[in-house]
Structures are given as structure tokens and as C-alpha cells.
Amino acid sequence: MAVGGAKWEKRSIEVVPAGERHGSPRNQFTLWFGANMQITAVVDGALAVVFGADALWAIIGLLIGNLLGGAVMALHSAQGPHLGLPQMISSRAQFGVLGAALPLVLVVIMYLGFAATGTVLSGQAINKILHVDAKAVGIIVFGLLTFVVAAFGYRWIHTLGRIATVLGILGFAWLTFRVFHENSAHTLLGNTHFDGAPFLLAIALGAGWQLTFGPYVADYSRYLPRTTTIASTFWATLGGSVIGSMWSMSLGALIASVPKSTFLDNQVGYVGELAGGGLIAFVIYVVIVVGKLTVNTLNAYGGAMTLLTTTTGFTRRKQVPPLVRIAFVFGFLIVSVLIAWVGSADFLDNFKNFVLLLLTVFIPWSAINLVDYYLVSKEQVDVPGLYDENGRYGRYNVCGLVTYVIGVVVQIPFLSQSLYTGTIAKSLDGADVSWIVGLVVTALVYYPWARATKRSPERTILPDDLEDRQEELV
């Protein structure tokens, strides 16, 4: 289907055929670099300073977190070329065709949360570009822009990533120059004092930022040729995501350390003033919108894929028409725009808690998926079995589901949030290390159990191998 010469993406939850594979790993670099050169990442970096760390230790902690979380996220990305599938379809191998709905529902909530919080800031930038005060105007315009790109799909998303990369480099280079032009390096980075709790918080903020890309990162690498190596996809994704996020977060940490900074009161407006006002501020607002549009499109597209994965598990559909995918994108964006419209109060504090809460539920999923794919099944997957509830993977996988619950529960004593602080977190002066505990415990529980109940084939079975698959099952 085409509109004015531009084609809608026709693939959704099914395997991308070899004849439609294209691109190279460098496209992963530009997509994830551009998606991270954005205002919400700046806010995330500022939070590390706001909640107690000085700028230098905040940046170090954010770097450690981004590298750790980014490595996990990039390992998910490397699955895309081999399987040619959206990320969450592959979760059926660990949780069962119907059992995968448990993490899938939580994934949708994550996408809605990020889409809504990002839309708040993007709406502010659009309002400044249009010189209007009505909050709804910027939010609705941004929602419509997101819909257009997400509806056309994969190629448009990667094109937007390249545009965001160029604009992000130019815009953030200017903002970085302005920060140091207006404030001395000693003012921003001097008088360092190490405090363990906020340092661990900075690590958690960086890791959480990267880890929450995990459930959809392979959606954007699945069109790469199947001959693409794991290493090339891994390093391109890791490099783009970590370099982009660290530039943005470091800028946020520096801005938050400016004496009497008003960044917390008006993030978008402050950045415009920092840029120098006038035409330069206008350009920076455009940079903000494009950066946020890139990552919000990922949220909308990934959210639609996740919803389709959930529903088709119960309807037994193996593929859906493009118009159905587009309808799911539209529905997702309607909900996210409504949340953004009514839920922007106490944005910074809510965002901090939101990121840390997401770590609690996504660390176990990530650990299970990666341990199973790389260590248990050793990259061998029965792709047709992912769509058949009576097939190899069954309706529910007790091993994956029980381990997932254990991985969530074990983190509770280590949580440190405004709504709840666990007993062990209190003894650590409020430091949140729950994500580390969840990752390690989940992996240790799942690996021996999954090895003992192994369901994977001896080699990857693709849809074209149906006859071989039937012979193997007999």
C-alpha cells in the first residue's frame, strides 16, 4: 500500500523474508544515537544531580550504568537479524505462546509511560515554536507527527533517526559550548564529594534508561540481512545508544549543577534561554522536537507490535494486515496523548520513580530472554513454534513464568522509591541496587531449570522449513 509514492510497511509480527532484508549495522548506530539525543535524556542526567550527586560523580555513575544496561540492550538487538522477528514475539520461547502476555502487558505500560512523559516536554517545545500557550496544541501536534512516522514504519523510522543524529550533534554541540561559556569548568565540576547512595542512583538511572529499550530494540534490526554478525549489530547499537545518551545525560548533569539553575522549573524554556534565545532558541526547540519524535515513534511502533503480539497469541493469527497495525499505532497514541494531557504534574519526581519501577519488572524479563537465547538454546529457535500454542513452546512455560515472578519479588527488599523503600535499601542509606539483584538471581534460577527442561531445536527452524520441522517432531 502506498500514499503519494510512500509505502506503508507491510510486515508486522511475522518473519521478514530474506528478499526484503536490507541495510547495514551503521543504521542501528544512527537510529539509537538520534533517539538518545533528546530532552528526556537531559532530564534523566539532571536527576542524578538533583537527588544528591555532584556533576562529576553523577556523570561517572551514569556512564557505568549506560555501559552495563547498554550491553544488555545491544545483546537483544543482535537477535533481530538472525530471527527477523519483533523482539517480544521471541519471548514466547521463554514464557509460552500465551504466557508471554504477562511481560507483554507490562511492556505496553512502559511504552505508554515514556510516550506520555516525552510528549509533555515535546508539547512545550512545539508550543514555543508556534507561539501558543494552550497545552493541548503542542501535545496533539506531536501525537500526529508521531503517528505519521510510526504508521509508515521501519524505513521512515530509520530515516528519522539519521535526521535526528545530524540535528542532535549540531544542537547539543552548541548547548554544550554555551554551558561552559556561561559557567567555568570549576563551577560545574569542582568541589567533588563522593556519596555512595546518589552514586548508585546515577548508575541505576543510566542502566534503567538503556534496559527499557530492550523489549523493542530488535524490532529495528530485524530487517538486516541474516548474514549480519552478532558483533557488528551489538557494537553499532551499543555505540549509538551509549554515546548519544551519555552526551545528553552529561549535559543534564552540568545544567543541574549551575548555581541557582531554574532548569527544574521549566526544562524546555531553560534550554532555549541557554541557547541564547531568539532564532537560535527556535532551532534548539526544533532539535528537541525531532529528537523526541524519534524515540516517541519507537515507543508507538514498539507499543503497537507488543499489543499485536499479545492479541495474536490468543487469536492464533500469524500475521496482520498493514491497516490493522496502523490502527493499533493510532489507538496507542490516543491513550498516550490523553495521559500526557492530564498527567504532567510533578513530572521530575514521577519520572525518577517510573524509571526505577520499570527496572523491577524488566530486569527479570531481560535476564530470562538473554540467558535462554545465548546460553540455553544457543541461538536456535523454532520460529513456526512461536505462533503455535500446541507446538514446541506450548501455551505456558512454567519455568519462565515462575522465574520471572521470583526475579521481581527478590528485588523488593532492595527497592528505594518515594512510595516504598525496602529494608535492605534502608540499611544502604537509600541506595537502590535492586536491578543488580534481579539480574543475577533471575539468571541463576533460570539457567539450570531451563537446561533441564530444554525446548529448543538443534537448529533454527524458519517458516520455509515446515516439512523438516514436521519430520523432526515425528
User: Roughly how many angstroms between the first and final C-alpha of the chain, as a whole number?
Assistant: 40
Q: Mind listing the pLDDT tens digit of every residue in the chain (474 residues)?
A: 444 445 778 888 888 998 899 999 999 999 999 999 999 899 899 989 988 889 999 999 999 999 999 999 999 999 999 999 988 888 999 999 999 988 888 888 878 888 888 888 898 899 999 999 888 899 999 999 999 999 998 999 999 999 999 999 999 999 999 999 998 888 888 778 888 888 988 998 899 899 989 888 999 999 999 999 999 999 999 999 999 999 999 999 999 999 888 887 788 899 999 999 899 999 999 999 999 999 999 999 998 888 888 888 888 888 888 889 999 999 999 998 988 887 655 665 566 566 667 778 889 999 999 999 999 999 899 999 999 988 999 999 999 999 999 999 999 998 877 667 889 988 887 777 888 999 999 999 999 999 999 888 988 888 865 444 444 433
Domain 2-345: assigned CATH number: 1.10.4160.10
Output the pLDDT for position 472.
43
Backbone angles phi, psi at 39, to 5 degrees: -65, -35
pLDDT in tens, 308-323: 888 888 888 888 888 8
Assessment of whether the complete model's pTM goes beyond 0.75: yes
